[in-house]
Amino acid sequence: MKLPTFWGGIHPPQNKVLTADEKIEQYLPKGELVFPMPQNIGAPCAPVVAKGDRVLVGTRLGNNDAFVSAPILSSVSGTVKDVTLRMTTPGTFENCVVVENDGKYEKAPEWQPLPDYENIDPKEYLKRIRDAGIVGFGGATFPTAVKLSPPPDKKIKWLIVNGVECEPYLNCDNRLMLESPDEVVNGLKLVLRLFPEAQGVIAIENNKPEAVKTMEEAVKRLGASGITVQPLAVKYPQGAEKMLIEALTGQEYVVTALPADVGCIILNVRTTQQIYRAIALGEPAVTRVVTVTGDAVAHPKNISVPLGTSVRELVELCGGFKEQPVKILSGGPMMGVSMRSIDVPVVKGTSGILALTAKSAMLKPITACLHCGKCVEACPMGLVPTVLEPLVAARMYKRFEEEGGMNCIECGSCTYVCPAHRPLTQGCRDGKASVMAMRRKAAAK
Amino acid sequence: MERLLVVSSSPHIHSPLDTQKVMGWVLAALAPAGLAGVYFFGVRAAAVMAVCVASCVIFEYLWEKCLKKPSTVNDLSAAVTGLLLAYNLPPTIPFWMAVLGSLFAMVVVKHLFGGLGCNIVNPALAARAMMLTSWPVPMTTWTIDGVSGPTPLALIKMGATDQLPPLQDLFIGHVGGCIGETSALALLIGFGILLYKDIIKWHIPVVYVATVAVLSVAFQRPVTPLYEILSGGLLLGAIFMATDYVTTPVTRRGQIIFAVGCGVLATLIRTWGGYPEGVSYSILIMNLVVPLIDRATKPHIFGEVKKHA
């Protein structure tokens, strides 16, 4: 049987075996934890605590009342040590709340299960989801309560749980589906109460047959009618929002549209589980699963870790580096961000820590474009990267827009296949940023 | 423990294929045809290949040295051009002509247009066209087993179809012609290598050859379509020169249009043109319209108008 998929794409080596069978390990840090204030797409938070304040697990550290935002909660109990600039994942310095952990993990009393949660008006879920600080844990960190509040004219027909995890190396979603399948299904059931006419789909790339089986059993066990588990063909970037919708529903939509415009809402596995926990168990979103892996890491692991923990501690928990890494990434190798230092905190968007040696990072010189067309074949968006990159280099931004450059989803497929190692994705990213900057400038006039 | 880390834009992994490997596999795929050429035409053929490859590599090296550019000799593309040029020459060609042809291919066709990736037409084919107009007699003197005589295509042009060699000679390569085009079998082995290593896709060669086959029937050529396909440089051109990355369209649809165009032109020239063979010119002419084809066959952008065909 041919599994559904999308047009274009690539098949990078998966390297998932490093951590595929590693059970999620709980880690409780000591010492100080760092909570950067910008941790979601949309409005960044501002600190609402001051030096010396006592905080508990679930105490609000940062908040912003803007619609597109989510609060930041403490993952430990202790004392606010400082509110100061600290280095974050991309190497920039951001406003951070630093909490000295007392090691007691005392939970704030306001965090209780929503009473009679299965029967109350589901609209009340939205407030809880926001208060719990839930964002898209797949890495995009879009505030989930906002995603679940589409304009009333958008009819939602599909609620898709994204368990594709198409990035090589990563296993956090895979392990979550294997170890907590019921919580994921229950989370989806709760969200479906918000959209009674929608159909629930749990989409999983078919390189995780056990996860497919586990989820199917969980759906059956929990009697969740209206939820199906859909295996998808193994191809990168199958988990990208647009490619997932194309594969599942056959629909395409323009770059300016959102999934809700074609009747879809997509939630990551962890996000769905976190929704269940926040509502049914009264647990705020203060931990996440991180896959620490790569050929430079001594013992790769999947770790459940309180947000704010230093990445260095996770690396040490994995036995440190067995080889000198040349690149350390936050996220997967295709779309992850390369880090300057591992002395940065785990944030909501940290799906993996990947340390690559020189061998696997394959740093090669850039040579001339051969016009081979491999990038055109790989681009899931139907762009011609070999045309776009020189346009950005020549600062011909208008032509860049005309050639569809703004459609680029930065999945990295073109650069991956390029035999000349041209920075095609980087070119498009650069072009998009420049166009956006010019648009903002024009709007400000 | 930690030294400085590399910080760069994603993606952070690459396919192992690079330009040098691509060219290396093309050379490997060309090898069977070269061996067949040496087998049927003798060591003179090997000498021509050596002269062409060496002079192409040396001219590229010197050109980049003189212009103080970084050397690109290691990417093996100059060696590929040299070998392809040799494959398009008669085994008896004087060496000095082969050297001048290499000079033209490397400097005029490739590097004056900006080097690898920037040339408009295939350097080896352009050099062959230049040599054919400059030295028509040495370029069309064909010998097999020490006897010179016309190629099968020339016999067809003269209407002497009763003197044509049998089909199996064409397939194995025991027939007069250019060094690399003689053995269809060896070329097909090369095609298999390129397909297996995913260096090229099947579309251009298959569509090109199929177009020639169909048109040879439509134009009532005096031989069977199979004989037509195995004659001359069609397989060499279709497999190795019409698939040159630099001078062919980037989209699958564009590549099919390009291949059909090559097939039409080659058959037109073979049937009504002044030369018995039209493969080189068909590819050269189609090379010129690649930018137009690329512009006309842009892929469908996700979400805009309708789905992919």
pLDDT, tens digit only, all 309 positions of chain B:
456 888 888 899 999 999 999 999 999 999 999 999 999 999 999 999 999 999 999 999 999 999 999 999 999 999 999 999 999 999 999 999 999 999 999 999 999 999 999 999 999 999 999 999 999 999 988 888 777 888 888 888 888 888 888 888 889 988 888 999 999 999 999 999 999 999 999 999 999 999 999 999 999 888 999 999 998 899 999 999 999 999 999 999 999 999 999 999 999 999 998 888 899 999 999 999 999 999 999 999 998 865 444
CB-nearest to B18 from A253, A364, A383 is A364
Asked if A351 and A139 touch (Cβ cutoff 8 Å), the reply is: yes
Instruction: Please identify which residue in the block is written with the tokens 């137009």.
Output: B292
Contact residues on chain B for A13, CB-CB shorter than 8 A: 13
d(CA B106, CA B126): 10
Ordered DSSP codes for B278-297: -HHHHHHHHHHTHHHHHHHT
Asked if A436 and A430 touch (Cβ cutoff 8 Å), the reply is: no
Q: Which residues make beta-bridge pairs with A337?
A: A330
Q: Backbone phi, then psi, for B302, in 5-degree steps? A: -45, 125
CB-nearest to A376 from B246, B299, B304 is B299
Give how far A365 is from chain B: nearest CA, Å. 10
Asked if A284 and A111 touch (Cβ cutoff 8 Å), the reply is: yes
Helices and strands of chain B, counted as H and E runs: 15, 2
Q: Are strands A352-356 and A327-330 parallel, antiparallel or unpaired?
A: antiparallel
Contact residues on chain B for A330, CB-CB shorter than 8 A: none
Q: In A, residues 47-106, which contact B (CB 8 Å cutoff)?
A: 91
Give how far B45 is from chain A: nearest CA, Å. 30
Contact residues on chain A for B17, CB-CB shorter than 8 A: 417, 419
CA distance to A9, A315, A395, B143, B169, per residue, from A400 (Å): 22, 41, 9, 55, 54
The angle at the Cα of A279, spanning A239 to A264, to the nearest 5 degrees, equals 30
In B43-200 the beta strands, taken as DSSP E runs, fall at: 143-144, 147-148
**CB–CB contact B13 A407 (8 Å):** no
Residues in chain A: 445
Q: In A, residues 278-337, which contact B (CB 8 Å cutoff)?
A: 320-321, 324-329, 333-337
In A247-388 the beta strands, taken as DSSP E runs, fall at: 264-268, 287-293, 301-306, 327-330, 337-338, 352-356
- Burial grade of A41 (CB within 10 A; 0-12, 13-18, 19 or more): middle
d(CA B212, CA B261): 10
CB-nearest to A412 from B11, B21, B301 is B11
List CB contacts of A232: < 8 A, sequence separation 6 or more: A3, A4, A5, A164, A203, A204, A205, A206, A238, A244, A247, A248
CB-nearest to B245 from A339, A360, A370 is A370
**CB–CB contact B252 A242 (8 Å):** no
Asked if A180 and A307 touch (Cβ cutoff 8 Å), the reply is: no
CB-nearest to B250 from A168, A356, A371 is A371
Name which of A120, A92, A78, A76 is nearest A36 in CA terms.
A92
Instruction: Report the phi/psi class of residue A300: left, alpha or beta, with left for phi > 0 and alpha for psi in -120 to 50.
Output: beta
Give how far B194 is from chain A: nearest CA, Å. 14
Give how far A65 is from chain B: nearest CA, Å. 33
| Element spanning A50, H or E | none
Q: Which residues make beta-bridge pairs with B57?
A: none
d(CA A347, CA A187): 22
Give how far A345 is from chain B: nearest CA, Å. 18
Q: Which residues make beta-bridge pairs with A360?
A: none
Q: Which residue of B has its CA nearest to A430?
A: B9
Asked if B110 and B100 touch (Cβ cutoff 8 Å), the reply is: no
Contact residues on chain B for A413, CB-CB shorter than 8 A: 11
> CA neighbours within 13 Å on the CB side: how many for B40?
27
Q: Which residue of B has its CA nearest to A416?
A: B14
Q: Are strands B143-144 and B147-148 parallel, antiparallel or unpaired?
A: antiparallel
CB-nearest to A371 from B17, B246, B302 is B246
A-B CB pairs within 8 A amount to 168
Q: Are strands A78-87 and A93-101 parallel, antiparallel or unpaired?
A: antiparallel
**CB–CB contact B19 A418 (8 Å):** no
**CB–CB contact A362 B1 (8 Å):** no
Q: Backbone phi, then psi, for A207, in 5-degree steps? A: -85, 5
d(CA A428, CA A445): 26
Tell me the pTM: 0.91
Q: Which residue of A has its CA nearest to B17?
A: A419
Q: Is A382 on the interface with B (CB under 8 A)?
A: yes
d(CA B52, CA B32): 18
CB-nearest to A407 from B1, B116, B301 is B301
d(CA A431, CA A106): 48
- At residue B194, the pLDDT reads 97
d(CA B139, CA B97): 10
Which of A370, A408, A411, A413 to mutate to test binding with chain B, by most B CBs within 10 Å of its CB? Answer: A370
Whether the link from the prior residue into B166 is cis, omega within 30° of 0, is no
| Element spanning A116, H or E | none
CA distance to A315, A346, A380, B2, B145, per residue, from A292 (Å): 7, 12, 28, 17, 68
CB-nearest to B302 from A340, A381, A417 is A381
Please list the pLDDT of chain A residue by residue as tens digits (445 residues): 678 899 899 999 999 989 989 999 999 998 899 999 999 888 999 999 999 999 999 999 999 999 999 999 999 999 999 999 999 998 899 999 999 999 999 999 999 999 999 899 999 999 999 999 999 998 889 999 999 999 989 999 999 999 999 999 999 999 999 999 999 999 999 999 999 899 999 999 999 999 999 999 999 999 878 899 999 999 999 999 999 999 999 998 888 888 999 999 999 999 999 999 999 999 999 999 999 999 999 999 999 999 999 999 999 999 999 999 999 999 999 999 999 999 999 999 999 999 999 888 878 889 999 999 999 999 999 999 999 999 999 999 999 999 999 999 999 999 999 999 999 999 999 999 999 999 999 998 8
d(CA B29, CA A171): 40
Rg (C-alpha) for chain B, rounded Å, is 20
Give how far A353 is from chain B: nearest CA, Å. 13
CA distance to A363, B115, B194, per residue, from B75 (Å): 17, 12, 17
Name which of A184, A186, A179 is nearest A24 in CA terms.
A179
**CB–CB contact B7 A339 (8 Å):** yes
Instruction: Report the phi/psi class of residue A330: left, alpha or beta, with left for phi > 0 and alpha for psi in -120 to 50.
Output: beta
- At residue B308, the pLDDT reads 44
Q: Is B12 on the interface with A (CB under 8 A)?
A: yes
